[in-house]
Amino acid sequence: MRKISFTIAIAILCLAGTGCAPKTTGTTGSEMSNPVIETIMARRSVRHYTDQAVPREILQQIAECGVNAPNAMNRQQWEVRIIDSQEYFDGLTQVMKESSPFPMGDDDPKFRNALRNATAAIAVACPDDESGMCLINVGLLCENVCLAAKSLGLGSVVMAGPVMMMNNTPAAKPFLDRLNFSEGYKLRVIVGLGYPDEEPEAKPRDLGKIQFAE
């Protein structure tokens, strides 16, 4: 009896996990049974979130998934900051409103802050380097963040606008300073996170971009 129970338990783990999952040959319909592939194909950029706060232990877990991304020579030339202070968001939003040449949020009844209404964010910095590998590493980190967020029931959106404003607007410097990046490290990207308040449709992808080298 004990042997049978153990066998059933192993079978359940194989079905639920990835290590024993059957290999798939496609990524649509009934063939998409791999949970990693399902998460990749279901990820969307979310720009509206509920006001529910994301627990810090979940944000920590997502950030740890980020720094487990592949990176050149495992030098880990990145720094990650988790932002979940609404006071920070409100203050930064005010600076962005005052410095933007365009109205911000005036035509959006759901507008809450300039970070796409996210309730949390992950900011990533890295140094300049001639090879460009540091920026590639940051991109890989952010992809891990977005996929981890999706797998945990959260939405995400990768943002460049707030980054450019923070790096180039003197009024935003206090908010950049609060991230406390090391000397020589520059803010490169911010990923907004939160519980989604929308379900965006998938955007078309040009599969013709994929070719086998002959």
CATH of 56-194, one of 1.10.10.10, 3.40.50.300, 3.40.109.10, 3.40.50.1000: 3.40.109.10
What is the tens place of the pLDDT at every residue in 64-82?
A: 999 999 999 999 999 999 9
Of the candidates 181, 193, 183, 186, the one whose C-alpha atom is nearest the C-alpha of residue 167 is: 186
Give the mean model confidence (pLDDT) for residues 150-166.
Answer: 96
* Rounded-to-5 percentages of helix, strand, coil across the chain: 45, 15, 45
What is the tens place of the pLDDT at every residue in 79-118?
A: 999 999 999 999 999 999 998 877 777 778 778 898 989 9
Binned at pLDDT 50, 70 and 90, residue 10 comes out as very low
Q: What integer pLDDT is reported at residue 111 of this predicted model?
A: 87
Distance CA 129, CA 135 (A): 9
Q: Where are the domains of the chain?
A: 2-42, 56-194
Q: pLDDT at residue 194 above 60?
A: yes
Distance CA 170, CA 168 (A): 6
